[in-house]
Amino acid sequence: GTLTFTQTNTTSPTAGESDCSIVCNVTLGNDRTVCIDSEYELTTTLGNSSIDPTYKWFKNGVEIVGEVNNTYTVHSNTITTDIYKVEINSDICDEIADDEIVITYVDIISNLKLNDITKIDLCDNDNDGFDTFDLRVNELEIANTENVIDYTFTYFTDSALTQQINNPATYNNTTGYTETVYVSVKHNTFVGCVGVTHFEIQVIDSPIATQLEDWLFCDDNNDGFYTFDLESLKTDIYNGQDVDKYDISFYHTQDDANDSLNPLPLNYINADAYLIEEIFIRIENNEIATCFETSSFNIQVIRTPVANQIPNWIVCDDADNDGFYTFDLESLKVDLLNGQDETEIDITFYKSVVDVEFKLTPLDLNYINKEAFVAEEIFVRMESVDKSDCYNYTSFFIQVIENPIFDIVEDTQYICVNLLSQTVDFEIENMQGNYTYSWQDDNGVELSTNTIFQATQAGDYTITATTNDGNNCSTTKTIHLLPSAPATNIEFVVKEYWQEENFSIEVSVMGNGVYQYAIDNINGPYQEEPLLINVVPGVHTVYVKEMNNCGITSKIIDVFGFSPFFTPNGDGKHDIWKVQGINFKPTAKIYIFDRYGKLMSQFQPALNQGWNGFYNGKPAPEGEYWFTSDMTDYKGKSIIRKGHFSLLRTNN
C-alpha cells in the first residue's frame, strides 16, 4: 500500500509530499523431525504484530485449499519429508510475505523395546515386602538399538501415566512384594516420539544370617583340639525364621560361602591348636539361591592359665609411718606369669575366693592395705583374655612393718667458730621400740652407735634407727650443726630522714650467726628485728649480739636531720630553720637558695645557727627553698647533703 505524508515548513509556505512502503514478513521457525503417527502444529510468527494478514498454506508447492488460519497441524503415517510454506498478505503490506519449513517424518519408536521388560528382583533386608529400587536399571534394555542418552524416561505408578515417580533412582515400592511400574520414553529432540512400556518389580524375602558369638572352648586335655558340633548352632542362626524356607551351611572362606563351595562337616575339628579360626555361615532362600546372606564367627580352643605361687610381700612403711602403703600389684604380674604369654592372660586381684569366682570388686592395681601393720591375704585370678571362664587362682599376703619412731631433743644447733674447741650434744628421746643406731657424717662415715652424739665440727649429720625383728626397717633423720660467729661489717640506713624529731635505723650485717640488736646499751634490751625505731637525732652506738653467745659487735652512728618546714612568725615555734642532732665541726656550713638559685643565707650549725626567714633584713616570701650542707662527721668524713624545705608564714 501507499501512505501519503504532508510536511509543512514553518519558515516557508511551500509544502512537499513523499511516498514510503511497509514491508511485511512471517516465520515458521526451524526445520523439525517428527515421528510418524504424531501431529505437529506449525505456528506463524509475524514481524509486525499490528497487521491483520490473510494466510495461505502450501505442501510441497501445492496450496492446501481451505487452510487460512495462522496455524496448521501436520502429520504422516509414513516415513517421508515434506516442505510446508505459508504466505501472508495485507492491504498495508508492500508485497506478499512467506516462509518455508521442512518436516522430516521418522519411525524410531519401533526401535525401542516396549514389551517383556525384565523384572527387577530385590532381596528384602527386613522381610516386610518393601525395599528401595533403582528403576533406571532397565533403561538400556528399553532403549534397545537407540542411544539411551537421546531419551527421557519418566516413571509412573499407574497405566494412565498420571502418578509420576519423582525419585526413580531410590524408589520405595508402595505395594508389598510385587508392583507394576509404567514408563514413558520420550525422544529429547524429535517431535511426538513417545513410547510407553511397563515392567514388574518384586521384593523377595531375604534370609538373615544371625551373627553368632565366638565359640571359645577351654581345653580339657591340653592338646589344643576340640570337636565343634556345628549342627547345634542352626537354631540360633534361624532365630525364628522359617526352617523350611531356608538352608544353612558352613564354610572355611568367605568366597566358598558366597559360591556355596566346599561346605564343612557338621562335626568339625578345629584345624590348628589354640589358633583362632573363622567359620563362615551361609543361609539361602530355597526358591532363589542367589537370595542369601552370610555371616561368620570364630572358634578357638583356649589354654587355661597356670596361677604360679609367689612369696608374701612385706614392706617397711614409708616416711609418714602410718601403717599404710600403696602396693603396686601390677609389678607382680611377671612372677605370676612365670613365662606365660602376658598378651593371652588377664590378671586381677581380689579380697576373697568368692570375689575371685564371681569377679566381684577387683582391687585397684595401686592398692592400699586396709589395716595398719596387719597381714592381709590377696587373691589372684588369672584368666584367658579370650574366654573368662578359663581361669585359675592363687593367693599371697601383704603387710606393712612400722618404721622406728624416735625424736631428737634439738635437731638444729650452733657452734661458735671464733671460740676454742667446743662440743655440742645431740640426743635421742621418745624411742618406741628396740632399735640399733648409727650416727654418720655427710660422707657416710659412722661416728657413733649410742643414743647421744657429741659433735665438734659444724655440718650436717644423720641418725638412723633400725628395727631388730629381721625386717630391717629404718628411719633416718638429719641434724644440723651450724657455724656461728659475731657480726662483721655493720652498715646502717637511716629512714624517715626528713622528720624533725624521731628516726629509724635499719641495720645490716655480715656473718654466719643469728643476731639480735640493741642501741646505746650493751646489755639491751635486744630485739631480733634489725630495724631500730624512735631514734632521736644524735650520736648513737648500735650493738649486734650473736644469739648463741659467740660475741657482741658494736658501731657508732650519727643521726642528723633537717626540718621539712619552718614558720618564722615570731610565735616561738619553728621560727628558725636549722640542722639537728650531729656534732658539727666549726668549719661546717649550710647554704640556703631560693628556687632561682639565689643565695638567701649561710650559717654554721656548730654555732647553733640557722635561718630566720629574712633576706637583706626583709622577710623572704613563702615557698620552697633549697639547701646544701658542707660538713664532716666525727671521723672526718665529708658529708654532703642537699634537699629542700618549705617556708610557711602564718598569723600569730
Which class is domain 488-559? mainly beta
Reported as type and span, the H/E element at residue 356 is: helix 353-358
CATH architecture of the region 109-205: Sandwich (2.60)
463 pairs with which residues across the strands? 439, 477
Answer yes or no: are the C-beta atoms of 541 and 517 closer than 8 Å.
no
φ, ψ for residue 204, nearest 5 deg: -110, 135
Residue 422, Cβ neighbours under 10 Å: how many? 13
Is the pLDDT assigned to residue 502 strictly greater than 90?
no
Fold topology of 407-484: Immunoglobulin-like (2.60.40)
DSSP β-ladder status, 54-59 and 81-89? antiparallel
pLDDT of residue 582: 59
Contacts of 288 (CB under 8 A, 6+ apart): 121, 123, 204
Which class is domain 26-106? mainly beta
| Interatomic CA distance for residues 410 and 412, integer angstroms | 6
- Report pTM: 0.42
pLDDT of residue 652: 55
pLDDT in tens, 135-156: 999 999 999 999 999 999 999 9
Query: Would you give the distance in Å from CA 95 to the centre of its chain?
Result: 86
Contacts of 601 (CB under 8 A, 6+ apart): 591, 592, 611, 615
Contacts of 611 (CB under 8 A, 6+ apart): 566, 576, 577, 578, 590, 592, 600, 601, 603
pLDDT of residue 321: 92
| CATH assignment, 215-302 | 2.60.40
pLDDT of residue 589: 85
pLDDT of residue 9: 58
Is the pLDDT assigned to residue 451 strictly greater than 70?
yes
Reported as type and span, the H/E element at residue 72 is: strand 71-75
pLDDT in tens, 170-184: 999 999 999 999 999
Fold topology of 561-647: Immunoglobulin-like (2.60.40)
pLDDT of residue 305: 92
All CATH 2.60.40.10 domain ranges of the chain, comma separated, are 26-106, 407-484
Answer yes or no: are the C-beta atoms of 588 and 606 closer than 8 Å.
yes
Is the pLDDT assigned to residue 297 strictly greater than 90?
yes
pLDDT in tens, 621-650: 999 999 988 777 656 677 777 888 899 987
Mean of all residue pLDDT scores within the chain: 89
CATH architecture of the region 313-401: Sandwich (2.60)
> What cell does 514 get?
643469728
pLDDT in tens, 278-287: 999 999 988 7
Q: Please calculate the CA angle 23-27-32 and round it to the nearest 5 degrees.
A: 165
Reported as type and span, the H/E element at residue 490 is: strand 488-495
What is the percentage of the chain residues whose pLDDT exceeds 90? 66
